[in-house]
Chain A
């Protein structure tokens, strides 16, 4: 009988999806720092027969810049393996013939260079950080309230995250603000959206039960992956809090101290 629990399920896996911030590295000044053992762990996964992808809600830089940073931290990682929300948003825009008004971090703007932004008929918000001023929010609001059928895309829906100088409000807070102002529901692009996880599975050509997600965010990484039919393992790094292990609705299939330990368990189950 197939073992469906953790860690036995690792035997039948065909692919692994890793979150980046809080799993591979901690953000902070400059490039941040690699989490101990994670560079080696990524290398070992790549050398195995498992497919590997990276799924992130990072929206403060283009994919190229972001991957270059990870490479400087020592990770063997290429642009085509990384799935952030912005490229997913661009394909949704194309599919639906939408022209966005952007309220995003300036580092992300080049990602939208080739996108028609004239006479906008939707709004995209990402983690704009300092650019979340009253005036910028008001501009986004006016675009939405002026549309017959307002469409708001949010690149992720996080509440807050931790930086070296303290907790910072994340994009979800401003998404909620615009939702309330315009009496609408935003469409979330990024984790935990099932279509976002599905696009990564499609890229690997795998069914959900053949893949495992490893992340530090219990609700968005683990819960989101489980909702799609994947396994979800939480690592005790990044934004992990002990209370996560007593969460009322989301129960991780497994918990590991860090990525290195999770990879050890997976590979030893597979007889490596």
Chain B
């Protein structure tokens, strides 16, 4: 293992790591408080296509987690940064609940397609419209490319299949902005003023959280909660820096060994 690094920041996944639906992972609030008392920056990073930062914040505060809206960085934030940087006027295929994260973005006469998860928009007419725009040169930006997700009534298609279909139709690759993309992690660290080698990511998704972070140069800690399945730690190369039972254990490891 590499020698001790000067750890400056901890990135923490939300769903599956701090909470599962409306229940906090046991001991997670206290663990977060202990981490906050150490000299390390904390940011919450998540792939979401339909929940604005405000909605995420309200849920976490209900569960007694100590954080503010500015501590949250999501795939929607990453899409917004890219849109602003490139001065795109996007056709936003995202659910209404996500639109508030795009407040102030010019959307008239769109010249780019931003695709999240929007069952109401994923119909033949709208996809044909997006397709024609891309064929005419509009860039395709994907919030993330998840294959599917779990809904109360069973599994449901994520944005990935629709992005892949449009890529095939147009022979153009989408720019993906969410986890596990390298730029997602580097953007999340930008305003903390630290480099990837000075940061660690904690999450329950071996590929998107841990694998993505380690590819970007962070350390990755996998927790056995949320979507974790036995053997997930063997699915990525290099393996996680650490695999532990839950978020409090991850925090303990950081406090004991990485600071």
Residues of A with Cβ closer than 8 Å to B?
A: 129-135, 137-138, 141-142, 145, 159-160, 166-170, 172-174, 176-183
Pick the contact of A174: B132, B135, B165, B171 (CB < 8 A).
B165
B228 at the interface (CB under 8 A from A): no
Shortest Cβ distance from A183 into B: residue: B147
Residues of chain A contacted by B124 (CB below 8 angstroms): 129-133, 169
Q: How far is the CB of A133 from chain B (nearest CB, A)?
A: 5
- Chain B interface size, as a band, is 20 to 34
Assuming the contacts A145-B148, A180-B160, A183-B147, asked whether A134 and B132 have C-beta atoms less than 8 A apart, the reply is: no
With both chains docked as a complex, state the minimum distance between the C-beta of A152 and any C-beta of chain B, in angstroms: 12
Binds A, one of B58-66, B106-114, B150-158, B210-218: B150-158
Bound together, the chains give a CA A204 to CA B135 distance in angstroms of: 40
B123 contacts the other chain (Cβ, under 8 Å)? yes
In the assembled complex, which residues on chain A have CB atoms less than 8 Å from the CB atom of B195?
none
Q: Which of B123, B154, B164 contacts A134 (CB 8 A)?
A: B123
Q: A141-B155, A159-B169 are in contact. Are A181 and B132 (CB under 8 A)?
A: no
Known: A145-B148, A169-B127. A134 touches B157 (CB 8 A): yes
> Which A residues lie within 8 Å of B154 (CB)?
142
A137 near B168: Cβ-Cβ < 8 Å = no
Interface: B137 (CB within 8 A) = no
Shortest Cβ distance from B248 into chain A, in angstroms? 34
Given contacts A133-B123, A181-B147, A181-B148, contact A166 B157 (CB under 8 A): no
| Chain A positions within 8 Å of B102 at CB level | none
The minimal Cβ–Cβ distance linking B96 to chain A, given in whole angstroms, is 15
Chain A residues with CB under 8 Å of B170's CB are: 159
Most buried by A among B135, B156, B157: B157
Chain B residues numbered 141-177 whose CB sits less than 8 Å from any CB in chain A: 147-148, 154-158, 160-162, 164-171
